[in-house]
Structure 1
Amino acid sequence: MPRNARFTLPHRPTVYHVISRTALSGLPLGDIEKNRLLEIIKYFSSIYFVDVLGFCIMGNHWHLAVKIYPRDYATRQEVQERFVKRYGEDVHFGDQEIEKFSKKWTDLSEFVREIKQTFSRYYNKRHNRRGFFWGERFKSMIVQEGSTLVNMLAYIDLNPIRAGIVKKPEDYRWSSLGYHVQTGNKDGFLSIDFGLKEWNEFDPQEIVRKYRQFVYETGAVDAGKGKTIDQKIVEKARKKGYKISRVERFRYRCRYFTDSGVIGGKDFVQEVFDQVKHLLGSKDKRKFTPVGGVEGVYSMKRLGES
């Protein structure tokens, strides 16, 4: 039976909600696998002409809200810069490459295919297996910007709440709200253009605060599909104006005090790292991660990502 054609709008920037499920039983995506899948999504979003608006990686599926830009946005200079990042400076780059990659890197199906194939190879190697990892082809739908988009983003971020995994959506670090709150949107990975002009906000922190408020108020409503955010938690957040306190930000960094490998001042971490990097098989210099909420303290490991 032939597949239905995928709905795309190739001639203008378009937002899509992508959903992909595994072919394996149970919950094959553990913490390590979720971390790796997120790294892969981040990498390819820096190669393709896309903005990532939201995501959530669950135990057996993942959601992605992404805005794809058409070929008109792929200038020769930008394509070349991304080509060098992907393949290095020694690989030939000419008119044929411009034509090929300006088309490829503005294509939703190619974007998702590379993410899924790269992760499948990683998973099979890690678990010493062969065969398919992903199920049927990914689902995608075109999403109108504005209120439809922000409701869809809230739906994505509320997945861990409906599943009963966490009590507050930002406690789940493999989701967009968790990434905003726990990492401060590290590397500018996520776009904060939710399309709600009526918010009339330009301060990124205030935009995220209003989005968090929207997610909480939406998540408190019983829609008959899974669990909701506890009303007491919502009331407590309301009293704080949905602002994340310094204490709360610090709490999200507490893993650094148990899993950082080396923690302390930047010079101290560098000194110790130089002495133990042979044990880690590392020959490169490393940029150490500042621990949010504690001035002047750094971690050897990048726990925001790993």
Structure 2
Amino acid sequence: MPRPRSQQISLSNTPYYHCISRCVRRAFLCGKDAVTGKDFEHRRDWIENRLLFLTQLFSIDVCAYAVMSNHIHVVLHVNEKEAKSWTTREVIERWHKLHKGTLLTQRYIRGDDMPKGMMEMVELTAETYRQRLMDISWFMKDLNEPIARQANVEDGCTGRFWEGRFKSQALLDEAALIACMAYVDLNPLRVKISNTPEKSEFTSVKKRVEAAKKAEQPKELMPFIGNERENQPTGIAFKLIDYLDLVDLTGRVVREDKRGAIDLSLSPILQRIGGSHENWIAISTQFESNSHGVVGSEESLKMYTGANPKARLNRRCAKLLA
């Protein structure tokens, strides 16, 4: 029986989660359907644009993403501190860009005079919106529902477009986060729709490479901030160039026609997380088959089970991340 979403997402344990949404009824999110011959490639734009738009409104950062033919991968970071810093007006303005809100919140934004009782109701409503704007379930709902409506109109049908539930995995530590990000960024290479990471359309790694050529980082994605230090900004505590090198080297091993004697254990990231060459290849290329539920090292899993005795853990993944 599927576990309630509230038991799968616990910010007290980790703010990082890997989420996957899959299509139903042989529906194609994008790409060409070999059976019908229809081309749905344009839908990649729909999902990527919607995803990056939501990052501007939610206090949820996107670490990695990949838009595939009938499913999408996203690695998300919930920024609880950011959400709590927003004023009531900021919260409501963000929410109104996604939903209509209530008559009272609309009056508040217009600047109408409102008695104390109404203002108290607005404040309570804003707190509800604040919680939703840092809620992964609401993020995935606001990502998937507009795409489903557009696809149903285009397909001339009604009913479900996505599976009822999106899959989520808690990423407990740096090793799990980096392995999952690499797995997501390398999806197009594994299914042979791309030859190199930097040419993988509609992925976070391509967007990062394009920005890196200009000595920048994509503003829509969670930035790499370098090694951990005091008073560091919010971001992924590795150097961007190290991550791109790691993904590139891993991609060469993934491609059968490009196999070579590449010692990935020399990567600065692998040195920091203590991973071996063999274990890295296994987990970063087979993340879903080797892991489910909660992902992390043996030590991270022990800490997690202490607070969540009913959690579904994977010792195989813990071994690989050792």
TM-score bucket of the superposed structures, by smaller chain: 0.5 to 0.7
> After TM superposition, which residue ranges in structure 1, 4 or more long, deviate above 3 angstroms?
10-13, 70-73, 83-90, 182-187, 193-198
- Contact kept in structure 1, 2:14 and 2:172, CA below 8 Å: no
Distance 1:135 1:212 in 2: 32
In the TM superposition, what is the alpha-carbon distance from 1:127 to its structure 2 partner? 2.5
Q: Which residue of 1 is the match for residue 24 of structure 2?
A: 23
Q: Which residue of 1 is the match for residue 251 of structure 2?
A: 219
- Contact kept in structure 1, 2:59 and 2:82, CA below 8 Å: no
- Contact kept in structure 2, 1:54 and 1:190, CA below 8 Å: yes
Q: Which secondary structure state, in structure 1, belongs to the residue aligned with residue 42 of structure 2?
A: helix
The Cα offsets for residues 157-185 of structure 1, whole Å up to 9 and x where unpaired, read as: 11111101111011012111111123557
Tell me: CA distance 1:145–1:8, structure 2 relative to 1, closer, same or farther (3 Å): same
In the TM superposition, what is the alpha-carbon distance from 1:212 to its structure 2 partner? 1.2
Distance 2:58 2:13 in 1: 15
The Cα offsets for residues 222-242 of structure 1, whole Å up to 9 and x where unpaired, read as: 5xxxx457247x89xxxxxxx
Q: Which residue of 2 is the match for residue 132 of structure 1?
A: 160
Counterpart pick for 2:223 among 161, 168, 192: 192
Amino acid at match of 1:9: S
Amino acid at match of 1:115: L
Please say if 1:91 is aligned against 2:90: no
1:174-189 matched pairs, under 5 angstroms: 174-182=202-210, 188-189=219-220
In the TM superposition, what is the alpha-carbon distance from 1:63 to its structure 2 partner? 0.3
Q: Which residue of 2 is the match for residue 4 of structure 1?
A: 3
- Contact kept in structure 1, 2:66 and 2:73, CA below 8 Å: yes
- Contact kept in structure 1, 2:29 and 2:44, CA below 8 Å: no
Q: Which secondary structure state, in structure 1, belongs to the residue aligned with residue 149 of structure 2?
A: helix
- Contact kept in structure 2, 1:146 and 1:196, CA below 8 Å: no
Q: Which residue of 2 is the match for residue 282 of structure 1?
A: none
5+ residue gaps, structure 2: 32-40, 109-121, 264-322
- Contact kept in structure 1, 2:13 and 2:172, CA below 8 Å: no
Counterpart pick for 1:70 among 62, 70, 80: 80
Amino acid at match of 1:172: S
Q: If the length of structure 1 is used for normalisation, what is the TM-score?
A: 0.64
Counterpart pick for 1:114 among 135, 138, 142: 142
Q: Which secondary structure state, in structure 2, belongs to the residue aligned with residue 118 of structure 1?
A: helix
Q: Which secondary structure state, in structure 1, belongs to the residue aligned with residue 198 of structure 2?
A: helix
Identity of aligned pairs, percent?
23
1:208-287 matched pairs, under 5 angstroms: 208-221=240-253, 227-228=255-256, 230-231=258-259
Tell me: CA distance 1:72–1:59, structure 2 relative to 1, closer, same or farther (3 Å): closer
Tell me: CA distance 1:133–1:41, structure 2 relative to 1, closer, same or farther (3 Å): same
Counterpart pick for 1:150 among 169, 178, 182: 178
Distance 2:127 2:60 in 1: 18
Counterpart pick for 2:46 among 22, 31, 36: 36
The Cα offsets for residues 126-177 of structure 1, whole Å up to 9 and x where unpaired, read as: 2322111112411001112422211111111111111011110110121111
- Contact kept in structure 1, 2:83 and 2:133, CA below 8 Å: no
Amino acid at match of 1:189: E
Q: Which secondary structure state, in structure 1, belongs to the residue aligned with residue 91 of structure 2?
A: helix
Q: Which residue of 1 is the match for residue 91 of structure 2?
A: 79
Bigger mean CA offset, 189-198 vs 38-47: 189-198
Q: Which secondary structure state, in structure 1, belongs to the residue aligned with residue 239 of structure 2?
A: helix
Tell me: CA distance 1:156–1:192, structure 2 relative to 1, closer, same or farther (3 Å): same
Amino acid at match of 1:5: P
Tell me: CA distance 1:230–1:97, structure 2 relative to 1, closer, same or farther (3 Å): same
Count of residue pairs the alignment pairs up: 227
Amino acid at match of 1:192: P
Tell me: CA distance 1:153–1:17, structure 2 relative to 1, closer, same or farther (3 Å): same
Amino acid at match of 2:10: L
Q: If the length of structure 2 is used for normalisation, what is the TM-score?
A: 0.61
In the TM superposition, what is the alpha-carbon distance from 1:98 to its structure 2 partner? 1.2
Distance 1:88 1:22 in 2: 28
Distance 1:140 1:116 in 2: 15
Distance 2:200 2:13 in 1: 33
Amino acid at match of 1:162: R
Tell me: CA distance 1:182–1:67, structure 2 relative to 1, closer, same or farther (3 Å): same
- Contact kept in structure 1, 2:14 and 2:170, CA below 8 Å: no
Counterpart pick for 2:63 among 53, 63, 74: 53
Tell me: CA distance 1:54–1:230, structure 2 relative to 1, closer, same or farther (3 Å): same
Distance 2:92 2:99 in 1: 10
In the TM superposition, what is the alpha-carbon distance from 1:34 to its structure 2 partner? 0.8
